[in-house]
């Protein structure tokens, strides 16, 4: 009989390489419950997202008329509506995925057996709380995006082209400067017990000194996630693009056939689900960076050992 894998201690100071190894060790131990519950929560969303993705492709390559035609504005409005639908799916997917992933991590830390035999009732309380927190993080991110867009756009409207050309590099440098603390903010707020703005301030206190290690970690996990995403993205994109391109140029109506639409829809579902799975790697990795920094600054494991010793 195979012995169970030893439970991973989250709160521990780790080197860069140890964070990489621990991230994949955790995913290897917990992939079954993660896959099962992501199928429950994420896959239904992918059914809707695949519909919007295919409609965007269809309206872009098949129904798109020449500018000036009477149907031009109608097609543009349909493309924008379906693009908004895709964007809303991505928003909902981030909320569900981050809440589910970090709820599983909290449950793994709390239970003696990790996630072996975990039930939905054990996840319900933390999952509901983290969904609310994920919504706040997302809304805050959207607000920051609007501010960045306004910072770039207003000089272009009020000034000259040279003002815009000067504003864009400055904005990119500021985003690059603050990107590491902003990456750290989500797990710090979702996994910690601090209020929203206290977590935001703490993310900058811990994130700025650790800028290079956070950026390097997210760069590595981002590259790995991109490869995973490409595996599911390319079949859908190539099949849909080439099929609709032939339908447009040859006029054979292949894009209107049932088998093409059904195959494209199934590949779209796989592509959408693969995208969310690819995000799990980076989201787990930045969580272990948070565990490392909290242990480094607050000594969580030492405090836990002292509390456990005092109960003896």
Structure tokens at 232: 């599911």
The pLDDT assigned to 147 comes to 87
The residue-averaged pLDDT of 258-270 equals 89
Residue 253 C-beta-side C-alpha neighbours within 13 Å: 3
Residues sharing a CB contact under 8 Å with residue 41, sequence separation 6 or more, in sequence order:
96, 97, 100
Q: Answer whether 190's CB lies under 8 Å from 133's CB.
A: yes
Predicted confidence (pLDDT) at residue 16 exceeds the cutoff of 60: yes
What pLDDT is recorded for position 114? Answer: 82
Distance separating alpha carbons of residues 218 and 138, to the nearest angstrom: 19
Say if residue 26 is exposed, middle or buried (CB neighbours under 10 Å; 0-12, 13-18, 19+): buried
**DSSP classification of residue 6:** P
3-state secondary structure of 176: helix
Which of 81-95, 237-251, 298-312 shows the lowest mean pLDDT across its residues? Answer: 298-312
Q: Does pLDDT of 115 surpass 90?
A: no
Q: Which of the residue ranges 91-95, 173-177, 244-248 would you say has the lowest mean pLDDT?
A: 244-248
Who has greater pLDDT, 255 or 21? 21
- Inform me whether the pLDDT recorded for 63 exceeds 60: no
**Structural element, H or E, at residue 30:** helix 16-41
Please determine, for residue 65, whether its predicted confidence score (pLDDT) is greater than 60.
no
pLDDT tens sequence across 68-83: 455 556 667 777 888 8
Average pLDDT over residues 204-220: 94
Whether the pLDDT of residue 112 is over 80: the answer is yes
According to the model, what pLDDT value does residue 39 have?
92
pLDDT tens digits along 22-53: 999 999 988 999 999 999 999 999 999 999 98
| CA-wise closest residue to 53 among 228, 230, 223, 233 | 233
Alpha-carbon span 187 to 288, nearest angstrom: 9
DSSP per-residue letters across 248-279: HHH---GGGSHHHHHHHHHHHHHHHHHHHHHH
CA distance 276 to 38: 9
Q: Report how many helices (DSSP H) and strands (DSSP E) the chain contains, helices first.
A: 9, 0
Is residue 281 a contact partner of residue 221, using CB atoms and an 8 Å limit?
yes
- pTM, two decimal places: 0.86
Over 90: is that where the pLDDT of 267 sits?
Answer: yes
- Mapped onto helix, strand or coil, the DSSP state of residue 237 is helix
What size, in residues, is the chain? 312
Q: Which of 186, 226, 241, 200 is nearest to 57 (CA)?
A: 241
Q: How far apart are CA 186 and CA 281, in angstroms?
A: 15
Mean pLDDT, the chain, as a whole number? 85
pLDDT at 67 over 80: no
Q: Please state the rounded mean pLDDT for residues 139-166.
A: 78
119-137 residue pLDDT tens: 888 888 889 999 999 999 9
Please give the pLDDT value at position 191: 92
Structure tokens at 225: 């996630």
Q: How far is CA 7 from CA 157, 174, 194, 274, 305, in A?
A: 57, 40, 26, 27, 16
- pLDDT tens across 88-103, in order? 999 999 999 999 999 9
Q: Which of 141-150, 155-164, 302-311 has the lowest mean pLDDT?
A: 302-311
Residue 308: what pLDDT?
Answer: 46
């Amino acid at each position: 009989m195979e012995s169970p894998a030893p439970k991973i201690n989250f709160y521990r100071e780790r080197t860069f390489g140890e964070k990489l190894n621990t991230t994949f060790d955790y995913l290897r131990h917990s992939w079954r419950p993660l896959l099962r519950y992501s199928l429950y929560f994420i896959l239904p969303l992918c059914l809707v997202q695949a519909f919007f993705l295919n409609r965007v492709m269809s309206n872009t390559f098949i129904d798109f008329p020449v500018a000036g035609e009477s149907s031009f504005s109608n097609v543009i409005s349909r493309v924008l509506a379906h693009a908004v639908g895709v964007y809303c799916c991505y928003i909902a997917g981030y909320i569900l995925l981050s809440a589910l992933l970090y709820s599983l991590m909290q449950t793994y830390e709390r239970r003696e057996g990790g996630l072996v035999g975990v039930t939905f009732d054990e996840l319900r309380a933390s999952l509901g709380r983290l969904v609310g927190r994920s919504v706040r993080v997302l809304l805050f991110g959207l607000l920051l995006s609007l501010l960045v867009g306004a910072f770039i756009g207003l000089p272009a409207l009020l000034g000259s082209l040279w003002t815009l050309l000067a504003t864009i590099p400055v904005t990119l440098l500021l985003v690059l400067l603050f990107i590491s603390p902003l990456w750290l903010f989500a797990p710090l707020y979702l996994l910690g017990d601090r209020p929203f703005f206290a977590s935001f301030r703490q993310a900058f206190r811990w994130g700025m000194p650790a800028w290079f290690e956070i950026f390097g970690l997210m760069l590595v996990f981002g590259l790995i996630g991109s490869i995973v995403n490409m595996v599911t993205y390319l079949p859908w994109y190539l099949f849909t693009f080439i099929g609709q391109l032939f339908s447009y140029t040859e006029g054979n109506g292949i894009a209107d056939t049932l088998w093409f639409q059904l195959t494209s829809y199934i590949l779209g579902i796989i592509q959408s689900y693969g995208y969310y799975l690819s995000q799990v790697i980076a989201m787990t990795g930045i969580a272990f960076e948070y565990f490392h920094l909290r242990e480094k600054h607050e000594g969580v494991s030492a405090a836990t050992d002292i509390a456990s010793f005092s109960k003896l």
